[in-house]
Amino acid sequence: MKKVTGIGGIFFKSQNPQTMNEWYAKNLGLPTSDYGTTFKWRDADNPSQKGSTSWRAFPQDTKYFDPSHKSFMINYRVENIAALLEELKKEGVTIVDEIAEYDYGKFVHILDPEGNVIELWEPAGETSEESTV
């Protein structure tokens, strides 16, 4: 079973997200909004499969990265998040919350050995045939 299939997003805390968005827009050309920006791409092995990677500055006091005390969080794209979560539980990985489902996909948060929170994301409509067996 495939686990991580790519980077879904890079998120970091900022003293002033709006200023950060403006700086990145002006100096690096990122088309930012209040929610950062989304880079759209196509899968190299299956060009009909669309994907995206998000970039976002969060307020310094966000609780979204909890229980980690780090100023960043990486979101990894995964296949079959439910099966992966079961494997991670068997390996003793700390699971922060339950799988949450939205129109754009399923999410769950885990911790790595240094206490960094990791967001796992199964984009909507990307469950492989192998994972539905």
The number of distinct structural domains making up the chain is: 1
Q: What is the pLDDT of residue 68?
A: 94
Q: Is residue 42 domain-resident?
A: yes
Residues 100-108: what's their mean pLDDT? 96
Q: pLDDT: is 105 or 45 the higher one? A: 105
Amino acid at 25: A
Q: Is residue 129 domain-resident?
A: no
Instruction: Decide if pLDDT at 91 tops 50.
Output: yes
Q: Is residue 116 domain-resident?
A: yes
Instruction: Decide if pLDDT at 92 tops 60.
Output: yes
d(C-alpha 88, C-alpha 109), whole Å: 11
**DSSP letter string over 63-117?**
STTTT--SSEEEEEEES-HHHHHHHHHHTTPPB-S--EEETTEEEEEEE-TT--E
d(C-alpha 119, C-alpha 73), whole Å: 7
Q: Is residue 17 domain-resident?
A: yes
pLDDT digits over 71-81, tens only? 999 999 999 99
Residue recorded with tokens 């399923």: 106
Q: Is residue 112 domain-resident?
A: yes
d(C-alpha 79, C-alpha 39), whole Å: 20
Find, among 105, 85, 80, the residue nearest to 95 by Cα.
85
Considering the entire predicted model, what is its pTM? 0.86
Where residue 63 sits, what CATH number does that domain have?
3.10.180.10
Instruction: Decide if pLDDT at 87 tops 70.
Output: yes
Look up the domain containing 65 and give its range.
Answer: 8-71+86-123
